[in-house]
């Protein structure tokens, strides 16, 4: 089945499925799912199919999200689709994409539509919208989680493999837990917020929902870049994923500090998750959680509610009934604070940030429940503010303390309620969290989303491209440890993986100094599979590297055994007169070894 981003990309690149077919399947699934509360607006299907079909003429290997369908939370601008923030009276139609959406499109993604949310991104429950309440596909009586309700449900239900949410106080993490998916909350400023309707502008970030950590990181890699039009943008380069690191120290709260509101099943699931991390090799280190709780209280008891008020104060004045009553009740309090209150809160926050710095001096990351428990829609509607607040117990402090976070599934409880944990670390450690989370999620062997779909095998952690990197296949003297490998490493080249070509090639030993092979493409499946390496170079370095390639070698498109294609070394047929056919060795390294 092709459900994850990685599986869809592999199918597209191998020609097993076209982007147009994938997009058509997406719209068919949305119709079959038949929940009008998931999407507030959909693109015209004909337009989306035409955009997908236009990808056929582009280089699939050069587009990291080639033909991948994406849903976008309806407080993020998509050109030509209304941005409502779940408030019809607020709606406008933007002429241009938000920066994040523009970067997704440039990477080959196909935007499908705009998803439902708690109005003005105020809420963690997903029930505060005039467009309805998306049904939780894991357990129908549960709230879907908010504010990014529609985005999380769309991924969990298998409608799209990837979606954008936002996360100011947990809106990218709580829905991930309640829908048994991954929620990646990047470092503040890592993804541009240009084109995002603010909730709290100093704390907002665009987040990612996916079925696996690797899929979420693939989207983050495309969007993570400084943006001159966003004054809150920061240069936060995404590091490389690694295997589960040795000696990693995970902070767990001191005994008695965790709060589950009487939910014994959630408490047991957290204990089991901590034990799983220990089994994977982490050292569990106790820390004091109380300062983090105090920070969380600042978010809604302090002046940051005034930021929410700023966004909608004109609408509050002109048409207060247009705003959801719970959203209105929470937001209107932002008009009451004084400048003195604001500075007092800022001073206290700065002190709490210093406490957090000391905590992270002794641990690499914190391990916490994503949420302490789960509630039904009926329960939340009966007590909308208190129960919402409880869901934010472990999320509200994160952006105030400038942390990055990754929410991953940990268990499906005996009562069918999903439970998840969140890893937290100081800003800039996004890849480190992903390296931990991907190994943990794979170890759980949980199905992904709500459809009981098995997790795909965990790929080599370095096999994805970052930023503007381009993959290149090397065949001979540029292989690791070979005579010309320094030409790659001196340009910042990064080994992605050792792999094989499709069985479409012959390999010849050329008369060159230093010795090099020439790989020739022949009729499909009529040749041999060759051992090769896949390297990553930045776009600028790729250009410089290609300029160094001497004749009779050239750079062409090489088909790999798994169906992917990438640029790599080929030889001009005219240069092969008298050259020895060494295809029987299956690669240059084996040939050179027998000569030694």
- Residue numbers annotated as active site: 73, 147, 171
Largest CA distance in the chain: 87
Residue with tokens 């990309």: 9
Cis-peptide, bond into residue 544, ω within 30° of zero: no
Cα dihedral 121, 126, 127, 131 sign: positive
Cα dihedral 359, 362, 363, 368 sign: negative
Backbone angles phi, psi at 89, to 5 degrees: -70, -20
Q: Which two tokens stand for residue 61?
A: 């290997």
Cβ contact 566:575 at 8 Å: no
DSSP state of 163: E
Q: Which two tokens stand for residue 13?
A: 């690149």
Distance CA 595, CA 231 (A): 60
343 SS3 class: helix
Distance CA 373, CA 394 (A): 11
Per-residue b/e over 304-334, b at no fewer than 16 CB within 10 Å? bbbbbbebbeebbeeeeebbbebbbebbbeb
Q: Tell me how far CA of residue 247 lies from CA of 250, 283, 363, in angstroms.
A: 10, 7, 10
Backbone angles phi, psi at 473, to 5 degrees: -90, 125
**How many distinct helices (H) and strands (E) make up the chain?**
18, 19
Q: Could you write out the three-class secondary structure of 466-527?
A: CCCCEEEEECCCCCCCCCCHHHHHCCCCEEEEEEEECCCEEEEECCCCCCCEEEEECCCCCC
Distance CA 260, CA 492 (A): 48
């Amino acid at each position: 089945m092709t459900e994850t981003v990685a599986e869809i990309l592999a199918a597209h690149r191998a020609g097993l499925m076209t982007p147009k077919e994938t997009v058509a399947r997406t719209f068919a699934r949305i119709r079959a799912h038949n929940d009008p509360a998931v999407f507030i607006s959909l693109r015209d299907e004909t337009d989306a199919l035409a955009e997908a079909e236009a990808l056929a003429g582009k280089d699939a290997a050069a587009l990291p999200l080639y033909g991948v369908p994406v849903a976008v939370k309806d407080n993020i601008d998509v050109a030509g689709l209304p941005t409502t923030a779940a408030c019809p009276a607020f709606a406008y139609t933007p002429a241009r994409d938000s920066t994040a959406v523009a970067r997704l499109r440039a990477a080959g993604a196909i935007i499908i539509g705009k998803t439902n949310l708690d109005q003005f991104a105020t809420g963690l429950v997903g029930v505060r919208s005039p467009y309805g309440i998306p049904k939780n596909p894991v357990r129908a009586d549960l709230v879907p989680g908010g504010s990014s309700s529609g985005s999380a449900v769309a991924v969990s239900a298998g409608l799209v493999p990837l979606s954008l949410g936002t996360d100011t106080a947990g809106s990218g993490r709580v829905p991930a837990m309640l829908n048994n998916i991954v929620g990646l909350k990047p470092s503040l400023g890592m993804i541009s917020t240009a084109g995002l309707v603010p909730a709290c502008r100093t704390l907002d970030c665009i987040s990612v929902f996916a079925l696996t950590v690797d899929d979420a990181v693939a989207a983050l890699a495309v969007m993570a870049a400084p943006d001159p039009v966003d004054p809150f943008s920061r240069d936060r380069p995404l590091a490389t994923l690694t295997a589960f690191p040795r000696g990693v120290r995970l902070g767990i709260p001191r005994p008695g500090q965790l709060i589950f509101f009487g939910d014994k099943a959630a408490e047991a699931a957290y204990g089991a998750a901590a034990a799983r991390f220990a089994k994977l090799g982490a050292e569990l280190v106790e820390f004091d959680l109380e300062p983090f709780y105090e920070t969380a209280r600042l978010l809604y008891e302090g002046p940051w509610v005034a930021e929410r008020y700023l966004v909608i104060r004109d609408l509050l004045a002109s048409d207060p009934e247009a705003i959801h009553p719970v959203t209105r009740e929470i937001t209107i309090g932002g008009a009451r604070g004084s400048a003195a209150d604001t500075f007092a809160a800022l001073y206290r926050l700065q002190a709490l940030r210093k406490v957090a710095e000391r905590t992270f001096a002794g641990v690499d990351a914190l391990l916490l429940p994503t949420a302490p428990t789960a509630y039904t829609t009926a329960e939340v509607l009966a007590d909308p503010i208190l129960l919402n607040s409880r869901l934010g117990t472990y999320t509200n402090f994160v952006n105030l303390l400038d942390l990055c976070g990754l929410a991953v599934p940990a268990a499906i409880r005996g009562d069918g309620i999903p439970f998840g944990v969140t890893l937290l670390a100081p800003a800039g450690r996004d890849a480190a969290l992903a390296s931990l989370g991907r190994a943990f999620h794979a170890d759980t062997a949980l199905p992904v989303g709500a459809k009981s779909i098995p997790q795909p095998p965990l790929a080599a952690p370095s096999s994805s491209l970052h930023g503007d990197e381009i993959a290149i296949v090397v065949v001979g003297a540029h292989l690791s440890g070979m005579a010309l490998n320094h030409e790659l490493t001196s340009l910042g080249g990064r080994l992605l993986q050792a792999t094989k070509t499709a069985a479409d090639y012959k390999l010849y030993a050329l008369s060159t100094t230093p010795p090099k092979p020439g790989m020739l493409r022949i009729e499909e499946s009529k040749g041999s599979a060759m051992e090769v390496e896949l390297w990553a170079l930045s776009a600028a370095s790729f250009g410089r590297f290609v300029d160094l390639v001497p004749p009779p070698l050239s750079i062409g498109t090489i088909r790999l055994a798994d169906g992917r294609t990438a640029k790599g070394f080929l030889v001009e047929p005219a240069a092969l007169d008298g050259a020895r056919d060494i295809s029987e060795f299956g690669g240059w390294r084996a040939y050179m070894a027998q000569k030694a």
